[in-house]
Structure 1
Amino acid sequence: MEKTEKQSLPAATPGAYQERETWTRQMDFIMSCVGFAVGLGNVWRFPYLCYKNGGGVFLIPYLLIVFIGGIPIFFLEIALGQFMKAGSINVWNIAPLFKGLGYSSMVIVFFCNTYYIMVLAWGFYYLIHSFTANLPWASCDNPWNSPSCSEIFHQITCNNSYANGSFANSSWANVSISGNNSCTGLNDTRSPIIEFWENKVLNISSGLDEPGSMSWELTLCLMAVWIMVYFCVWKGVKSTGKIVYFTATFPYVVLIILFVRGVTLPGAYEGIMYYIKPNWSKLQEAQVWIDAGTQIFFSYAIGLGALTALGSYNRFNNDCYKDAFVLALINSGTSFFAGFVVFSILGFMAAEQGVDISQVAESGPGLAFIAYPKAVSLMPVAPLWAALFFFMLLMLGLDSQFVGVEGFVTGILDLFPASYNHKYKREIAVALCCGLCFIIDLSMVTQGGMYVFQLFDYYSASGMTLLWQAFWECVVVAWVYGADRFMDDVARMIGYRPFPWMKWCWAFITPCVCIVSALFYIFIIEKYLINVQTNMSFCCERLISPNICIHVYVLVGTSPARLHGDVTKVSRI
């Protein structure tokens, strides 16, 4: 096996201010990007959006925005890191006035690292409880069940909605309980799956103002996944590049197993047809196009700075242009394939309950922790399928999490070049990052923790935040540094000039897509979002919005004291 190289860059390279470790093999970079970008959203969000927005027709706006928004920014972030040999902050030395973009991405990825891991903690909790003869969420004879719990799953006569919440702009599950009784008699009936989630896992309180006590079981699960993350990242790309071979590929093995099992279940064909059946009229709805755009920005992990950090460990002459297209194909292909897995199982669940698939089709945690546990409880050998699913969920989230931590730590260490001479600088930095995030996460393992989680999700890394970040990245590279100039830099790295389509996207098309999507988000979508607590949410949105960093840095940089005698700092190398 090759030893990890230390690469000194040619003098012409802007990022040549320090030696930088590189990937042992280029495949390490590919697998790390796959692990980071291919995550939970590919499995639990894209299939639902595809079904909701016209089935196969949804692929038209989706693929269009992939080529005019997703790939151009994906390539831009990787190429910036590779050219500058720096993390998400120092890459913006190409335009120092806009270095706030780097700080903004650092804040975004820090918030993501903080709350995203809660999904892993919940998944780990479910995984542990899957190793039983009888799944604990399949019956009503547990200490956490209420007298109104019912195990009846047949033709719908009454509907009980779980909760008014969302995750990644996707609604929570509407879970229906039914029987041969009248609606009057079933008004208070609750599913054992719902009660396991609400009463056992979350032990949820009535609101954000009632934090309640901590769950020590969830705390231990949270600690366990943070320890996993630490030991995946602590040695840098030498360890990360090896671990991702398992964490990035094993979910595909499980997806294939679940697909084979799913298509053999009764009702699977109807479920798959619901997923892909085209509804051409949907193309006339603006919401379909916005859903396509926001899904791409989420699933491609744009604006977080982690792709820049991963690219910074590439060899200077690596063909990152080709890599961007390969990774985009893997990402979008995974999303589409996952839909067949999800809807074959949802079709089975609908057939077993005698309901329409629209009544069981969910996204987000509603799929992972309510709909899918309900589905496996109806299967033979239910614990096996539950364990496989939640282990896949853990692997999907784990590599996204530790690469996110890698991106944050890389940016921090780059701010202090002298720290690279310290023997244990990385181990200490990773420990501090994980420890700080763990302390913040303790607020999410309380009875009111779900409300804290939702606040982070709504506002710290929302669609609006990522759209604004992507808009400024394109504007700065194309108009401040210069699109042609950056294309020349890329040509120096990869040996040829990319197709002009890239610079046209950076300069005109992608910023327009971001602005139109952002305006739609502000004036239409946000009006319908159901907040945890309106006043508290409004304040938190303004206080923790990461994009503030961009504007503050520009204001400070353009102050008379800073500009006096040095107006050349707006754009330089």
Structure 2
Amino acid sequence: MCHNQGKTTSQGAKERSKWGTKKEFILSVAGAIIGLGNVWRFPYLCYKNGGGAFLIPYFLFLVTCGVPLFVLETSLGQYTSQGGIMCWRKICPLFEGMGYASQMIIFYGNISYVAILAWAFLYFFSSFSGNLPWASCNNTWNTDGCVEINTYNTTANWTSPVNASSSVKEFWQRRVLKISTGIETLGSIQWELALCLLLSWVICYFCVWKGVRSTGKATYFTATFPFVLLVALFFRGMTLPGALHGIKYYLYPDPSRLADPQVWMDAGTQIFYSYAICLGYMTTFGSYNKYNNNCYRDSFYLCLLNSGTSIMSGFAIFSILGYMSVKQGVDISAVAESGPGLVFIVYPQVVTLLPWPQVWSVCFFFMIILLGIDGQFAGLESNMTSLTDLYPSYLQRGYRRELLLMLLCAISALLGLFMVTEAGAYILQIFDHYVCSGPTLLLMAIFQSVIIGWIYGAGRFSDNIEDMIGYKPLPLFKYCWLYITPLICSATLVFLLVRYIPMRFNNTYVYPWWTYWIGWFLAMSSLSMIPLNMIFKLAQKKGSLWQYWISPDGGSKGRKAARSIPVQKKKFSPMAVAKQTDVPGM
């Protein structure tokens, strides 16, 4: 994705790479942030939290947390020209642990979410059969109560799950997951999924093998193809009988649901997850920009694209849920399980309604694979960039970097085998709830806002952005970094603790007590990096406390050189729709 590898310095480290073109940056970031969080997690959370009620806190968090933090991280990476760890060392050395915490969260995410890729690969390979295996009940895994929804007579008894279950749902639960009765029953490793898991990691390895420059042109396909499929599925779903019933459920808010703290928690963490903020992704991608790139304007366009994709995915999902509700004769809230497998039940159902269903199924699951690979690649590249920035003279030599990358992939793949056991879906939800979302990301957002807003200085950071692009960002961003973002995230966190509800799987299975200890251990293992790093630095006793507290120059290496480049002085309005010219140098 990056070009201009630069020359080797006298110390043996190469100059930092830069994006070859503006399009590569936009498409690469779009590929990283527009992924499974849009087509899987957003509709799943809407379904779980009562449909339209979820959209209210979602948009509140988007305006007050999502966009401000997205701008902050992209600008921070571009200003310091460093990845997720070194950027904090450059501006606030005492809080370098923020970088280590974010990289640990990414590492945990890489272990857990690759299971979704394994599921997608299994569906993808199954799509090449003569008849889609989930479209019929003539399979060894089907029960006596299996029915095919497309040919189902709604006068039959769907009210009792003992009497009837859809062929799509049985394929998911009894063939793909072979799900056990609970996390206590780990079961055996499913070797078909394990091989799909291995394939996913091999692809990820070779994507990052030669660094970010190796896949730049591929983003022209990987970042655009999913939109074509999503639009096609959207229009097909809207033409199904009962689609408007599903859309009404999607858009009509139930105000009583807003009293549930989990709705607010899910909305906030969905913003953080979907926008890949508080994880170092945007800092890493921004660090490969030229100093005078208008990252402020780019951030608005990317945020608009991201949320627009999520909303469209919601329409596609709920139009199909409305159809399934009409066919089964039950309320839409009971039509499908509200879990990570929602997308593996609803989307396979709709492809059976299209002409040439095998072709549509191959295309759809290829889209899911592309989206998942983009996200995995971004996380893996963020880990490698941070390590390379820490030890540039050692790791920028090709074979050493490749060996470290192979070791990282091998360890992640081995730990990921837990996700492809019969209890893998239960384990994945623990990682999703405690490590990759929830309190962990809320605390990271609070720390990040306080460090930039109060310790480094929101005004100073606004001046840094002006130094890069020629004008200050909207005053709203400064107030968000100072007050709004940390206050909203803190209130949500307190609300969650006061109204604590035990974690459930599919709203029915309650986890045993010891799983909560595992979840909090995983969460604290990343967050503890912040105080531990502070203690380590203070124990070294090199320099004054002020030198550890904040960097005197703000961490800009290229500021003086960049000032010799003409900077566009015209301000960018987020509300403007007129096309604006790129800054010189891009």
TM-score, length basis structure 1: 0.86
Query: Are 2:549 and 1:570 aligned?
Result: yes
User: For residues 109 and 327 of structure 2, what CA distance do their matches in structure 1 show?
Assistant: 37
User: For residues 474 and 383 of structure 2, what CA distance do their matches in structure 1 show?
Assistant: 31
Task: State whether residues 360 and 371 of structure 1, in contact with CA within 8 Å, keep that contact through their aligned partners in structure 2.
Answer: no
Could you list the per-position Cα deviations for residues 309-352 of structure 1 after superposition, in whole angstroms to 9, with x for gaps in the alignment?
Answer: 11111111111111111111011111111222222222222233
Q: Which residue of 1 aligns with 2:235?
A: 260
The 3-state SS of whatever aligns with 1:235 is coil
In structure 2, do the counterparts of structure 1 residues 153 and 497 end up closer, same or farther at CA, with 3 Å as the change threshold?
closer
In structure 2, do the counterparts of structure 1 residues 89 and 387 end up closer, same or farther at CA, with 3 Å as the change threshold?
same
Alignment of 1:317-466 (within 5 A): 317-360=292-335, 364-377=339-352, 381-466=356-441
User: For residues 488 and 8 of structure 1, what CA distance do their matches in structure 2 show?
Assistant: 32
User: For residues 197 and 313 of structure 1, what CA distance do their matches in structure 2 show?
Assistant: 41
The letter for the 1-side match of 2:103 is: M
Q: Which residue of 2 aligns with 1:166?
A: none
Query: Are 2:520 and 1:541 aligned?
Result: yes
The letter for the 1-side match of 2:27 is: M
Task: State whether residues 455 and 532 of structure 1, in contact with CA within 8 Å, keep that contact through their aligned partners in structure 2.
Answer: no
1:298: how far off?
1.8
User: For residues 8 and 324 of structure 1, what CA distance do their matches in structure 2 show?
Assistant: 32
The letter for the 2-side match of 1:106 is: Q
Could you list the per-position Cα deviations for residues 113-153 of structure 1 after superposition, in whole angstroms to 9, with x for gaps in the alignment?
Answer: 1111110110110111112222212333322334x442165
User: For residues 280 and 459 of structure 1, what CA distance do their matches in structure 2 show?
Assistant: 27
Is the deviation greater in 510-519 or in 380-389? 380-389
User: For residues 48 and 67 of structure 1, what CA distance do their matches in structure 2 show?
Assistant: 22
Q: Which residue of 1 aligns with 2:156?
A: 180
User: For residues 187 and 494 of structure 1, what CA distance do their matches in structure 2 show?
Assistant: 63
Task: State whether residues 149 and 324 of structure 2, in contact with CA within 8 Å, keep that contact through their aligned partners in structure 1.
Answer: no
Query: Are 2:27 and 1:31 aligned?
Result: yes
The letter for the 1-side match of 2:530 is: I
The letter for the 2-side match of 1:144 is: W
Task: State whether residues 328 and 335 of structure 2, in contact with CA within 8 Å, keep that contact through their aligned partners in structure 1.
Answer: no
Q: 2:81 aligns with which of 72, 85, 91?
A: 85
User: For residues 8 and 489 of structure 1, what CA distance do their matches in structure 2 show?
Assistant: 28
Query: Are 2:141 and 1:135 aligned?
Result: no
The letter for the 1-side match of 2:21 is: R
Alignment of 1:265-304 (within 5 A): 265-277=240-252, 289-304=264-279
Alignment of 1:66-85 (within 5 A): 66-85=62-81
Is the deviation greater in 538-547 or in 253-262? 538-547
CA RMSD in angstroms comes to 3.1
The 3-state SS of whatever aligns with 1:133 is coil
Q: 2:496 aligns with which of 521, 533, 538?
A: 521
Alignment of 1:308-319 (within 5 A): 308-319=283-294
Alignment of 1:98-117 (within 5 A): 98-117=95-114
The 3-state SS of whatever aligns with 1:242 is coil
Q: 1:224 aligns with which of 162, 175, 199?
A: 199
Alignment of 1:151-170 (within 5 A): 151=147, 153=149
Aligned length: 543
Task: State whether residues 154 and 354 of structure 1, in contact with CA within 8 Å, keep that contact through their aligned partners in structure 2.
Answer: no
In structure 2, do the counterparts of structure 1 residues 291 and 7 end up closer, same or farther at CA, with 3 Å as the change threshold?
farther
Query: Are 2:536 and 1:556 aligned?
Result: yes
The letter for the 2-side match of 1:36 is: A
Could you list the per-position Cα deviations for residues 400-459 of structure 1 after superposition, in whole angstroms to 9, with x for gaps in the alignment?
Answer: 111111111111111112125513344333322222211111222223333332332222
In structure 2, do the counterparts of structure 1 residues 8 and 70 end up closer, same or farther at CA, with 3 Å as the change threshold?
farther
1:219: how far off?
1.4
Query: Are 2:475 and 1:500 aligned?
Result: yes
User: For residues 280 and 203 of structure 1, what CA distance do their matches in structure 2 show?
Assistant: 37
Task: State whether residues 2 and 288 of structure 2, in contact with CA within 8 Å, keep that contact through their aligned partners in structure 1.
Answer: no
Is the deviation greater in 266-275 or in 311-320? 266-275
Flag structure 1 segments of 5+ consecutive residues without an equivalent: 10-16, 157-176
The 3-state SS of whatever aligns with 1:137 is helix
Task: State whether residues 474 and 506 of structure 1, in contact with CA within 8 Å, keep that contact through their aligned partners in structure 2.
Answer: yes
Is the deviation greater in 301-310 or in 337-346? 337-346
1:284: how far off?
7.1
The 3-state SS of whatever aligns with 1:323 is helix
The letter for the 2-side match of 1:6 is: G
The 3-state SS of whatever aligns with 2:330 is coil
User: For residues 226 and 59 of structure 2, what CA distance do their matches in structure 1 show?
Assistant: 24
Task: State whether residues 102 and 279 of structure 2, in contact with CA within 8 Å, keep that contact through their aligned partners in structure 1.
Answer: yes
The 3-state SS of whatever aligns with 1:124 is helix
1:183: how far off?
7.1
Kindly, what percent of the aligned residue pairs are identical?
46
Task: State whether residues 193 and 373 of structure 1, in contact with CA within 8 Å, keep that contact through their aligned partners in structure 2.
Answer: yes
Task: State whether residues 8 and 20 of structure 1, in contact with CA within 8 Å, keep that contact through their aligned partners in structure 2.
Answer: no
1:548: how far off?
1.4
Q: Which residue of 1 aligns with 2:115?
A: 118
In structure 2, do the counterparts of structure 1 residues 514 and 183 end up closer, same or farther at CA, with 3 Å as the change threshold?
closer
User: For residues 56 and 444 of structure 1, what CA distance do their matches in structure 2 show?
Assistant: 31
Q: Which residue of 2 aligns with 1:159?
A: none
Query: Are 2:465 and 1:490 aligned?
Result: yes
The letter for the 1-side match of 2:541 is: R
Could you list the per-position Cα deviations for residues 455-488 of structure 1 after superposition, in whole angstroms to 9, with x for gaps in the alignment?
Answer: 3222221221111111111111122212222222
1:293: how far off?
2.3
Task: State whether residues 262 and 496 of structure 2, in contact with CA within 8 Å, keep that contact through their aligned partners in structure 1.
Answer: no
The letter for the 1-side match of 2:267 is: A
Task: State whether residues 138 and 151 of structure 1, in contact with CA within 8 Å, keep that contact through their aligned partners in structure 2.
Answer: no
In structure 2, do the counterparts of structure 1 residues 55 and 111 end up closer, same or farther at CA, with 3 Å as the change threshold?
closer
Q: Which residue of 2 aligns with 1:6?
A: 6
Task: State whether residues 172 and 341 of structure 2, in contact with CA within 8 Å, keep that contact through their aligned partners in structure 1.
Answer: no
Flag structure 2 segments of 5+ consecutive residues without an equivalent: 553-586
The 3-state SS of whatever aligns with 2:477 is helix
Task: State whether residues 349 and 375 of structure 1, in contact with CA within 8 Å, keep that contact through their aligned partners in structure 2.
Answer: no
Query: Are 2:452 and 1:474 aligned?
Result: no
